[in-house]
Amino acid sequence: MARIFLLPGIFPLLLILTQAITAQGAVRGVHASGPLEDSVRISPLAKCASCPTKEEITAPGVGFALEMGYGTAALRLHDGKYQTVARVEGDEAYTSLLRSLAMGPKYREPDNDASPWEKMKYLKERAQRLLNKAMGRPATPQSAVLGDMVSKLRSKTEAALGDGQNVTAAVLSSPEKIRLTSEELNDALDYLEIRNLMAEPDDIGELYAGSAAYAGFGLGLCKNYTDPEACRQEEREFLDDWVIYLDFSDYSLSGTVKRFFLGVRNGVDYYSWIEPGLGLERLKEMEETEYWTAVTAHIHRMVERFGEVVSRLMFTGPSAADPRFEEAVKNAFRQRAGLSDESQIVDRDGGKGQVQDFVFATAKGAAEFAKRRQEVRCVEDEECKPIRNAWLEEGKRQMGLGPQIVLHA
């Protein structure tokens, strides 16, 4: 009987191995990169077979952000407002995993120059991942840890939504220095039966924290996203924006230099680093002057290389509002013209008389991506516009789910 049972089992294994080999395009070098990897607009769009339903139009976008040491969740409502949902602290397994990924190799897939042995090892691991998923198990120990965090964020989000609403689709962002691949993201989401909206209907890559935060602060977004051509025209008016993006929490300090052109959908990284040893918690173990001198020195190295071209500073993280951190940033720029004035440290106020939300900016950006991706999946006929407008006005009257920040003035 054992022999009869095992023989049929060979065929699924062969199929899985074939899928792993066929999917060798996932090897780095074949991935979409540069402007495509951060795209929020689906293009080209097919023509819609019918007008969207009320549920399709008004469903909020769900955004989850994996951060160093914790995770956050937010909703992008149909009336253009955000609702912050929850911040969930990571357990030891989560914090250890993200630290390991941050300090590990930049790419966890073999590139085109990898040895045959490295490529075969990757294919073997990928076949095992597919087999685990086919058997209803987490694809890898890593995806089990990430999935546990996402599961907690989903539970908080479903409680905020109320009325028995379930989260079945979302966008998940990851730290710039970790850069989870589409496969790693899908492994975590598939186990929870959550659709990855960055992969549907066309897979346009991953969402990283810098682009998510940029969108979360309301930057680089076309207003007419339901009209692809109008959106494209708006994007042509966006100026190049060179950003130094700093994330600061109890767990780490990280920095990225990113250039955005034609809006948030075109974001290219030029430089990125992370220092887990300089999270604010480390201040308990170091002399204060020594600690802040080290923080300033790390930021100053970015300024030395890119200070002359940078047009914007962007902060995220629970510790980014610490006035000592702000002073460290100003000290790093002190020898450079252009950004030494605190008034140019955007996202501290945003010009609206309210302090920006450093903790939830990336989750809000992920929610913005989710809303646009799930709502605009095809080109609608003109007859659909009155339907959309009616539900937009209805949403403005009815949707008030908690503390919110207006996306567009």
Indicate the pLDDT class of residue 83, thresholds 50, 70 and 90.
Answer: very high
- HSE-CB at 408 with a 13 A cutoff on CA atoms is 10
19: CB partners within 8 A, 6+ apart: 127, 130
Mean pLDDT of 83-92: 97
Mean pLDDT of 35-44: 46
Mean pLDDT of 158-174: 95
Give the per-residue pLDDT at 145.
96
Across 54-126, the runs of DSSP E, i.e. the strands, are 61-67, 70-76, 82-89
Three-class secondary structure of residue 35 per DSSP: helix
Q: What is the pTM assigned to this prediction?
A: 0.81
Short-list 270, 267, 266, 246, CA closest to 257: 270
CA distances to 73, 121, 330 from 278, rounded to whole Å, are 25, 35, 18
Give the per-residue pLDDT at 202.
58
DSSP letter (8 states) at residue 254 = E
CA 402/CA 107 separation, integer angstroms: 40
Give the per-residue pLDDT at 131.
80
Give the per-residue pLDDT at 201.
57
Give the per-residue pLDDT at 93.
97
- Percent of the chain surpassing pLDDT 90: 48
Domains and CATH numbers, the chain: 54-109+117-386 (3.30.420.40)
Give the per-residue pLDDT at 369.
94
Q: What is the pLDDT of residues 321-375, one digit of tens each?
A: 999 999 999 999 886 655 544 444 444 443 333 446 899 999 999 999 999 988 8
Say if residue 230's pLDDT is above 90: no
Say if residue 383's pLDDT is above 70: yes
CA 364/CA 397 separation, integer angstroms: 22
Say if residue 12's pLDDT is above 60: no
CA 110/CA 108 separation, integer angstroms: 7
Short-list 265, 332, 342, CA closest to 292: 332
Which range, of 220-234, 235-249, 319-333, averages the lowest pLDDT? 220-234
352 vs 193 pLDDT, higher one? 193
Give the per-residue pLDDT at 56.
81
H/E segment holding residue 195: strand 195-196
381 vs 161 pLDDT, higher one? 161
Which range, of 40-49, 131-140, 272-281, averages the lowest pLDDT? 40-49
Indicate the pLDDT class of residue 289, thresholds 50, 70 and 90.
Answer: very high
Give the per-residue pLDDT at 128.
77
